[in-house]
Amino acid sequence: MTIKIRARLTNIFMQFTKELEIGLNAVVDACRLCVQVRNTLITSDTLDKKDHSPVTVADFGAQALILHALSVALPNDACVAEEDGDNLRTPENAGLFNQVRKAVNAVKPGMTETEVLACIDRGQGNGGHGRFWTLDPIDGTKGFLRNEQYAVALALIVGGEVVLGILGCPNLPVDSHKPEGEKGCLFYAVKGGGAFMRTLNGADHQGRKIHVKNEVDIVRARFCESVEKAHTSHDASAEIAKRLGVLVEPYRIDSQCKYSALARGDAEVYLRLPTKPGYVERIWDHAAGCCIVTEAGGVVSDVSGKELDFTLGRGLESNRGVVVTLPAFAEKVLTAVQAVLAK
């Protein structure tokens, strides 16, 4: 499937039409690879990085596919991505690399071993103030392994602003009210052009514009938070919700699917609270989602209310935690967050 941006959106997306089409098609291909690998995944196809989070054939394969597409169409654009090809160059991981190459060739025939590694290595940029892409080939690897929620997250940053964001969510229900129904969503946004969702299989060629929920009573706000306790403090989130008088049970899903859920109105608050001193969020974990939620009418900041700063390299070095919510709730949520974290 090749995605073309609709004619009536051309004026809105004029500045980044080429980048959006390239990015959408690359993310769709990466999602295809992820689904194929997940359907045949076996234990020997995983390894541990230094931080002990599992890395799969799909992480490396998705990064290779997307950065290959960018290198062909936009060879001068820098890239900041999560995975490092050096993890595949060790003798003990020769079998894993062979699986990565096979997975890539199943979607993009003809890529050599050298090309696959070179494309993965393109993600070792440093970011900063210029123009660059940032990629998390599988955000929510543990969700991927559990066959739950994960996302392929790609964003374009220019001069510190996230100007384009794309999230491919292969396991996310198209209709949140029908969790057992069709799955596979593609979310995208360009700065100033709004946020959109279409099915990953492309059946709805035109997609639809999405917006955060128009909720005015915070007691009905649904908190969206990480499944993994290592990613955020569930206890602190519960205390914040209690302070706000929230009566709704939290919605726990992995990855930047949380941003997608909030952008289309499935939740009203997403908190990523610091779990240990000095922890720095990575830019690829938030850039795409930040763009999509903002264009859908939401607000994104750190726990101090500061905007996320994408100019400081591979990490959000000047920020602490992340708070995503509706404009009407932002002040109350931040006040409660700061009170709880100050204890």
Domain, as residue range, for 121:
7-210
Structural domain ending residue among the three candidates 210, 245, 276: 210
Of the candidates 303, 7, 16, 324, which has an alpha carbon nearest to the alpha carbon of residue 155?
16
The count of domains in the chain is 2
Are residues 34 and 126 both part of a single domain?
yes
- The token pair at 142 is 């543990």
Are residues 37 and 118 both part of a single domain?
yes
Are residues 296 and 326 both part of a single domain?
yes
Does residue 1 belong to any structural domain of this protein?
A: no
Domain containing residue 245: CATH number: 3.40.190.80
First and final C-alpha spacing in the chain: 52
- Which of the residues are catalytic? 59, 141
Which amino acid, 21?
E
Which amino acid, 103?
A
| Angstrom distance (rounded) from CA 221 to CA 241 | 9
Name the average pLDDT for the chain.
90
The Cβ of residue 342 has, within 10 Å, a number of other Cβ atoms equal to 6
Q: What are 68-124's pLDDT values in tens digits?
A: 999 999 999 999 999 988 889 988 888 889 999 999 999 999 999 999 999 999 999
Does residue 78 belong to any structural domain of this protein?
A: yes
Q: What are 34-49's pLDDT values in tens digits?
A: 999 988 865 555 666 6
Are residues 230 and 122 both part of a single domain?
no
Are residues 173 and 225 both part of a single domain?
no
Element (H, E) at 25: helix 17-40
Are residues 185 and 250 both part of a single domain?
no
Average pLDDT (213-224) is: 89
The pTM for the full model equals: 0.93
Q: Which residue has the tokens 């000047």?
A: 318
Structural domain ending residue among the three candidates 167, 184, 210: 210
C-alpha Rg value of the chain to the nearest Å: 19
The Cβ of residue 31 has, within 10 Å, a number of other Cβ atoms equal to 27
Are residues 318 and 238 both part of a single domain?
yes
pLDDT of residue 7: 47
